[in-house]
Structure formats: C-alpha cells, structure tokens
Structure 1
Amino acid sequence: MAQIRIAKTASDLQGILDLQWENHLSRVSDEVRQADGFVTVRHTPEQLLALQSIAPHVIALEEDQVVGYVLAMTKASRDLIPVLIPMFDQFDQVYYKGKKIADHDYLVIGQVCVGKNQRGKGLFDQLYEAYKNQFSGQFSFAITEIAKSNTRSLAAHRRVGFEVIHEFEEVTQSWAIVAWDWK
C-alpha cells in the first residue's frame, strides 16, 4: 500500500525525476503510449525544486521509492518551465465559468504519473484526492492540458472529475484543456 504525502526531501524530488524519465514520451514504445499513457515534459532538478518552493508536489511512496506523483504549478510558476509557457498563454485566452481562466484563482497540474507496477490499483485517484485536499482551500479549480493522443490520461482525468473545457491544435499535437471544479 502506497503512502501519499507532500514531497519534502531531495530524495523525493529525485524520485519524481526518475519516474518521469522512465515514463517520458521519448522512452516508451508506441504500444505503451497507447495502453498506459506517457508524460511529455522533463524537468530539471532546479525547475522541480523551484516549483516545489511555490506549491508542494504530492507523491506516493512504496518502500521509500516514488511510485506516483502530481506536480503543482501556480500563476507564479508560469515562467519557470519555458516549454509550458504556451500552456499558460492558452489559459489567458480561454474562458471558464464566464471569465478568462487567467482571472480565476487556479492550480495547474504540472504533470501526473503513476509507475507501471502500480497502475490499475486506484493510486491515480488517491493522488488526486490528496492533491484536492491539499489545495482546494486556496484554489477554485485545478487545470491542465493533456495530449489528445494520451487517451488513458484523458479517461482517467474524466473519471476523477475533470471536464474538457477547450481543445486546440499545434503543429505536432492536438490538446485538450481540462478543469476540475473544486467549488
């Protein structure tokens, strides 16, 4: 049974980076991408620590090994991960609940990942429940974008309460912006 808590140590952050690399789009086969999903962004240790200093990440541990995580980003995190700035730019243009996303108090899911041996055991839902418990008092909703080709991730996000609020195309990928209303 995994222990779920806030990331606290350098070892926790390294565990996130290790799991991220193991499940990165560039490292998994087409079959794994289709069946199990993937992550698209790789963070540096410095970026992950900078994000953590603004809003803590939620992790799942088994025998002191990170087996799942949900990264937290806020508006203050906007410029820390250059590859994600276009996501925030999209948020500046999209409306949710009658006003631009940028005008809400929201939390960005910086990334979510569950290790291969823990999938299908409810850990994804448990991580998100802990994430909601940690942040719902501060933010109205959680939001992120998911590659539409990552069908497993889209389905899992819908299952825990996210809804697709916008879709858009880039040169190499189609994306869905999803939000989870906490109010």
Structure 2
Amino acid sequence: MASSPQTCLVTRREELQQILHLQAANLRDHVSSEQAKREGFVTVAHTLDVLEQMHALAPSVIAKDGDTLAGYALVMPVEARAFVPILEPMFQLFETLSWRGRSLGDYRYYVMGQICVAEAYRGQGVFDALYRQHRESYGTRFDCTVTEVATRNTRSMRAHTRAGFEVLKTYRDDTDEWAVIALPLHG
C-alpha cells in the first residue's frame, strides 16, 4: 500500500467497473463460510447499468489508493428503488418504520446500498472514512442514510455500530435475519 486511501465521489465509469469487481470478489456466494464470518460479505450483485443509473441520481462514495479501489459505499436514493427489483421488499418495509419518534418517510433519506472494503485495506479506517465522506457529501441534502445488515455478518454489524448507526428493527425473511439501521448525516 503506497499511502492512506483518499475518499471522494465516483466521477468515472472506470470507478463503477472497479466497484463491480470488488463486489464480485466479496459476494456471499463467492466467499467461504469461514471468510464470511471473519471478514464479512456483500449480498446483492449490481450491474454496470444499475450503478450508472444510481450514480446519475447521487454519486457513490469510494476510497482510492492511487488508481486502486480500497473501498466503496453505494448511494441509493429512494428514487432508485425500481433499478434493483430484488430490494423492493426492503423499500416497502422502510415505509412502515419510525426513527427518532417520526415516520422514516418524514425524513430525507437514502439507502446505503452496500459498503465493501478491499481485503488489503481492512482494519485501516477505510470503512469510517467512507461514512465521513457520506456525511460531508450528503449531509445537507439528506437527514440520514438507512440500510440493512445481515445480523450474522458480525464484522459489518460491529463496524456500523461504531460508525453511529442505530437499529430501527430486526426481522427474519427466507434468506437471513436482518437489522435495519439508520445513520444521522448531520447534527
């Protein structure tokens, strides 16, 4: 590693392609159960077309070490829900939830579509830096970001708690047990 990775918003198609490459290497179905337990995993596979559509609404956050992608955190505004039909039940659930005493729908929020840090950069603060960049880039446009994490993805759950996420609900579906969590982006 040449230096500490720098965070920014996606600006080039090549960066979206790098996201897809890192995503594929960390999909739940592509890692061993031991690696998933120790290092975490991602659940949904996107396409370049979907990432480009999401990016047009709100560019995602990345961490780069020179030309190397050290990590990414996808921004998925509510308007992007039609781009990934498999996530529609998640969006429907979000419509029923409250956060800090108000309906989640009363807030300006986006879905943190997925976060992943490349193996060589784990444990070096990249995860926290990605969320700091989310606050800097989107704190005036949105009140919070909301996501779901599989509760068995203990590394991710610990990292999200450390970053300041609050649990709104835990539920089980036919694939896993999930924690719905929210992060305030300002104040």
Q: Do Structure 1 and Structure 2 share a fold, with TM-score over 0.5?
A: yes
Range that drifts further, 94-103 or 147-156: 94-103
Q: Is the 8 A contact 1:145 1:176 kept in 2?
A: yes
| Pairwise CA distance, 1:21 | 0.3
Where does the alignment leave 5 or more consecutive residues of structure 2 unmatched? none
Range that drifts further, 19-28 or 74-83: 74-83
User: Which amino acid is 1:47 matched to?
Assistant: V
Q: Is the 8 A contact 2:111 2:147 kept in 1?
A: yes
The CA RMSD measured in Å over matched residues stands at 0.9
Q: Is the 8 A contact 2:70 2:126 kept in 1?
A: no
User: Which amino acid is 1:101 matched to?
Assistant: L
Partner of 1:75: 78
CA–CA separation in structure 1 for the residues paired with 2:83 and 2:181: 21
Q: Is the 8 A contact 2:20 2:46 kept in 1?
A: yes
Are 1:19 and 2:22 an aligned pair?
yes
User: Which amino acid is 1:61 matched to?
Assistant: K
User: Which amino acid is 2:115 matched to?
Assistant: V
Partner of 1:136: 139
SS, match of residue 167 in structure 2: strand
Are 1:149 and 2:143 an aligned pair?
no
User: Which amino acid is 2:157 matched to?
Assistant: L
1:94-105 alignment runs, 5 A limit: 94-105=97-108
TM-score when normalising by structure 2: 0.95
| Pairwise CA distance, 1:176 | 0.3
| Pairwise CA distance, 1:99 | 2.4
CA–CA separation in structure 2 for the residues paired with 1:91 and 1:179: 11
CA-to-partner distance for each residue in 1:1-39, whole Å, 9 max, x for gaps? 112111111110000000000111011011110011000
Ranges of 4+ aligned residues in structure 1 off by more than 6 Å: none
| Pairwise CA distance, 1:100 | 2.0
User: Which amino acid is 1:159 matched to?
Assistant: R
| Pairwise CA distance, 1:45 | 0.5
SS, match of residue 168 in structure 1: strand
TM-score when normalising by structure 1: 0.97
| Pairwise CA distance, 1:103 | 2.6
Partner of 1:63: 66
| Pairwise CA distance, 1:181 | 1.7
Q: Is the 8 A contact 2:70 2:121 kept in 1?
A: yes
CA–CA separation in structure 1 for the residues paired with 2:85 and 2:175: 18
CA-to-partner distance for each residue in 1:13-72, whole Å, 9 max, x for gaps? 000000000111011011110011000000010000000000110111123121200000
The count of residues paired between Structure 1 and Structure 2 equals 183
Q: Is the 8 A contact 1:162 1:181 kept in 2?
A: yes
SS, match of residue 152 in structure 2: coil
Are 1:172 and 2:175 an aligned pair?
yes
| Pairwise CA distance, 1:102 | 2.1
Q: Is the 8 A contact 2:148 2:178 kept in 1?
A: yes
